[in-house]
Chain A
Amino acid sequence: MPAAISVTGLVKRYGDHAVVDGLDLEVQQGEVFAFLGKNGAGKTTTTEILEGYRTRDGGDVSVLGEDPATAGASWRAKLGIVLQESRPLGALTVNETLRLFAAYFPNPHTVDEVIQLVGLEEQANQRAGRLSGGQVRRLDVGIALIGRPELVFLDEPTTGFDPEARRQFWDVISGLRDLGTTVFLTTHYMDEAQVLADRVAVLRDGKIAALGTPAELQALRGDVEIRFALPHGVELAALPALSTQPRLTGGEVRVETTAPTADLAVLCSWAEARGLELPALTVERPTLEDVFLAISGETT
Chain B
Amino acid sequence: MNMLVEQVRADLLAFSRRPETLFFTVFLPVIFLVLFEAIFGGQSVTLAGGDVIAQSYLQVPAFMVMGVISASFVALSITVVNRRETGIFKRVRGTPAPAWLLIAGQVVTSLVIALLMVIVMLALGSFAYGVRVDVGHLPWLVAGVLIGAIAFSCLGMMLAALTPSTEAAPPLANVVVLPLYFISGVFVPIESLPTWLGNIASWLPVAPFVKVATWAYVPATTTPWRALGLLIAWGMLGLIIASWRFRWTPRRS
Contacts and interface: CB of A to CB of B under 8 A. Distances in A.
Interface string B89-106: 011111111100000000
A104 B95 contact: yes
A101 interface: yes
A97 B13 CA distance: 11
Nearest to B83: A89
Contacts of A83: 87, 90-91, 94
A91 interface: yes
B94 A96 contact: no
Interface residues of A, number: 29
Contacts of B95: 76-77, 81, 101, 104-105, 147
Contacts of A51: 94
Interface in A218-239: none
A164 interface: no
A89 B95 CA distance: 16
Contacts of A127: 17
Q: Which of B90, B91, B94, B253 has the most CB of A within 10 A?
A: B94
B6 A91 contact: no
B86 interface: yes
Contacts of B14: 89, 91-92
Given A100-B7, A104-B3, A86 B96 contact: no
A89 B10 contact: yes
Q: Which of B2, B14, B250 has the most CB of A within 10 A?
A: B14
B17 A53 contact: no
B82 to A, nearest CB: 9
A103 interface: yes
Interface string A54-90: 0000000000000000000110110101010111110
A297 interface: no
A109 interface: no
A99 interface: yes
Contact of A100 (B10, B86, B249, B253): B10
Interface in B136-161: none
Interface string A126-166: 01000000000000000100010000000000000000000
10 contacts: A53-B90, A53-B93, A73-B97, A81-B95, A87-B87, A92-B14, A96-B13, A99-B6, A103-B2, A104-B92
Given A86-B88, A106-B96, 16 more contacts: A52-B94, A53-B94, A76-B95, A76-B96, A81-B95, A85-B87, A86-B91, A87-B86, A89-B14, A92-B10, A96-B10, A97-B10, A100-B9, A101-B95, A104-B97, A105-B95
